[in-house]
Amino acid sequence: MVTLQQIKPLEIEAESFRIIEREFAEATGRAVSDFSPEEFAVIRRVIHATGDFGFAASLRFHEQAIAAGIGAIRAGKSVLTDVNMAAAGISRSLLGGFGGKVICRVGEPEVAAMASSQGLTRSETALALAGGDNVGIVAIGNAPTALLAVMELIQAGRINPDLIVGVPVGFVNAAESKELLFQKDYPFITALGRKGGSPVAVAIVNALLRLA
Burial status of residue 100 (CB atoms within 10 A of its CB: 0-12, 13-18, 19 or more): buried
d(CA 177, CA 62): 16
What DSSP state is assigned to residue 106? Answer: T
What DSSP state is assigned to residue 6? Answer: -
HSE-CB of 1 using CA atoms within 13 angstroms: 1
Q: Is 62 a catalytic residue?
A: no
Give the sign of the dihedral formed by CA 8, CA 12, CA 3, CA 20: negative
HSE-CB of 71 using CA atoms within 13 angstroms: 9
Cβ–Cβ under 8 Å, residues 5 and 15: yes
Element (H or E) spanning 164, and its range? strand 163-166
One of 30, 48, 92, 101 is an active-site residue; which one?
48
d(CA 155, CA 151): 6
Catalytic residues: 48
